[in-house]
A and B are shown apart, each in its own frame.
Chain A
Amino acid sequence: MDDVFTGVQPEEIALSPAQAGAIGDRRVAVSVEALFREHYGRIVGMLTRLTGDRAHSEEIASDVFHKLSQRPALMESREDLTSWIYRVATNAGFDALRMNSRRRKREETAGLEGTQLASAPSALEAMLAEERRLRVRAVLETLKPRDAQLLLLRASGLAYRELAASLGLETASVGTTLARAEAEFERRFRARYGENV
């Protein structure tokens, strides 16, 4: 099975409708599988950073690839397809982040109660670290999804070429977009939480 998937070249994934019809659903399924193998881990990592919930992130990523398997027309454009996968996953991650905002507020309240109870430094440090994570996610939530996605994927170590593919950008414009996204993130972070970034 591995041989089949590793043998799929990127060119093979971009099928014309006639080819797709002739070869049938099997090739489409293989292409989805190849994309899944290439991007699933990165998407889960990006969403886990964003939502803080790995299990939910895996569900979101799986849903994205399920949607992809249900829309064979998307398979015709590999470049658009990659950015589509990341865009849908990022938007779903933001939806999850917004849905959990009420839960986060409850946790923050519980955390304040815990501060009064906790005497161990480790508990306090853990609480402060969680507070900082919540702040970072809150600021990411206010950014344009593309900027947030760029910052998260860059933190995962993707090269500019990979970032360009996942965002649907030219490789040459990644540096500009990244610099602006970082500046905007820092500006909003400082506006909310002060100068101590």
Chain B
Amino acid sequence: MTQCWPEGELRAYLDRELSTGDMQQLAAHLGECAACDALCTELSERAARVSALMELLPEHGPLAARPAMAAVRKPAQQHRWVPYAVALAACLALAVYLKPKPAPQVAAVSPAPVTVHDEPPAPPAAVAALGSEMSVVPASRTVRSVRKPSPAEEVFVALDDEPFESGVIMRVDVKPGNLQADVVFGPDGRARAFRLVKANNRNLTRY
């Protein structure tokens, strides 16, 4: 009987990592040595079991750590950040709305009914007493119609395919050109969608 082979050589034999001559010699030895044959079988079965466990670990996993448990998590745990994001968006919208605006202002809400007079209103008595050479012209009130956005302006273009439920809209200048854009930022701070808006003399055009 030929000499027995060490365990490492048997393991390499299973992976066909020996030279052709060694492969043939070892195969011949396994045919005549029950001990080495049993050891080789044991190594082979163990290697298969360990390999099967290693194959459970994906080599090309998801880009972000998303455990499978997330799929069965309760909705309340899944969207805890939504109320905070909505509150933040509401505060920002309120701050933008309450910010002092230079005249002329754009009427964003339905204007109060305007009474049309045939004659200009009489000046206050104190002003009338200053003399006839001083005329008071009532301040003209500019009421501009609210421009309806075109369909193209109403549509946001998503920057990726990932859905999102809330976000903050910020308007930014686009250089060069007389353009502005509304950018939707998601809760994680990433820009998620945008739409182009024509600038109106650098004043905000509200919809």
**Chain A interfacial positions (CB closer than 8 Å to B):** 45-46, 48-50, 52-57, 100, 107-108, 110-111, 113-115, 117-118, 123, 126-127, 129-130, 132-133, 136-137, 151-152, 154-156, 159-160, 172-179, 182-183, 185-186, 189, 197
Contact = CB atoms under 8 A, between A and B. Distances in A.
Interface in B1-55: 6-12, 15, 17, 43, 46-47, 49-51, 53-55
A52 B49 contact: no
Nearest to B52: A197
Contacts of A126: 68, 71
B61 A155 contact: no
B61 A52 contact: yes
A155 B57 contact: yes
A175 B15 contact: yes
A59 to B, nearest CB: 11
B8 A176 contact: yes
B64 interface: yes
Nearest to A156: B59
B73 interface: yes
Q: Is the interface of B mostly helix, strand, loop or mixed?
A: helix
SS class, residues of chain A in contact with chain B? helix
Given A114-B73, A183-B46, A132 B56 contact: yes
A-B pairs with lowest CB-CB distance, top 5? A176-B8, A114-B72, A175-B12, A155-B54, A175-B8
A114 B72 CA distance: 5
A151 B54 CA distance: 8
A160 B58 contact: no
Contacts of A151: 50, 54
Nearest to B47: A182
Given A114-B69, A136-B56, A182 B8 contact: no
Contacts of A133: 56-57
A197 B51 contact: no
Given A123-B71, A129-B68, A175-B11, A197 B17 contact: no
B60 interface: yes
B88 to A, nearest CB: 26
Contacts of B12: 160, 174-175
B126 interface: no
B67 interface: yes
B63 A179 contact: no
Contacts of A57: 61
A130 B57 contact: no
Contacts of A174: 8, 12, 17
Given A48-B60, A52-B65, A182-B50, A113 B15 contact: no
B79 to A, nearest CB: 15
Given A45-B59, A127-B72, A186 B54 contact: no
